[in-house]
Copies of this chain bind each other. A is one copy, B any other.
């Protein structure tokens, strides 16, 4: 097709798609092309703005490495991550709610025995976390695999510290036969998401703060249950109403309780949804 104009081009792009064995991809690409073109038309995007967008996306990709995922961060601050999580995790009442995955998960975190220390020297006040993992009928989820990760008291995940050669404040545990777990770590504190890249530029340009309320990440897997990716948020945090990535659920807020001996205790139970398989 020759001589497409700003309106006919949308159909021209859609008609160009040929034999697609993957019908789902066709659905996705058709909607994407419609929305992308409608966006450009709605705002009457200029060529200069188009080039700025190209450069922004390029910088976002080039800010990613094996320890940093700036496109996840971009998706997070635009609310796309939480939207996707919300659409895909509509569980029965009583199940623990899911929230955003975030950009700081690492595969193959160190294995930590029950009662062991996840902090591994990360700066922060000592904290002991305990809880139980059950199904929707209250039955224990024996030997569930628990991934936990968090920022330290200076607001950094281990992967944000170039001088660190070993993991800190992340670990992989296994619940006991009764679904119970406990481990030592540090108290979660509020922190700003990284602002030294393109996402930081976007937040500044749009008058937004980069802070996330204090939280502890969990990903819990067990055969016969849906994997749960969530956080526990710290009650009283000043950013609970304005999380930079829109991840806060009322049901995920818990008390970190200071003890006379200097330790802080967090107890949180998780309810997994049975999978359909």
Interface footprint category on A: 35 or more
Given A2-B249, A87-B6, A250-B3, also A18-B61 (CB < 8 A): no
Docked-complex contact B25 and A79, CB < 8 angstroms: no
**A246-B20 Cα distance, complex, nearest whole Å:** 20
Could you say which residues of chain B place their CB within 8 Å of the CB of A4?
79, 82, 86, 246
A193 to chain B, nearest CB (A): 13
Q: List 10 A-B contacts (CB under 8 A).
A: A1-B246, A9-B83, A22-B205, A28-B45, A31-B43, A32-B78, A36-B80, A37-B80, A40-B80, A45-B87
Given A33-B79, A41-B87, also A25-B205 (CB < 8 A): yes
Chain B CB within 8 A of A160 CB = no
A10 to chain B, nearest CB (A): 7
Given A61-B61, A241-B1, also A84-B13 (CB < 8 A): no
Docked-complex contact B47 and A88, CB < 8 angstroms: yes
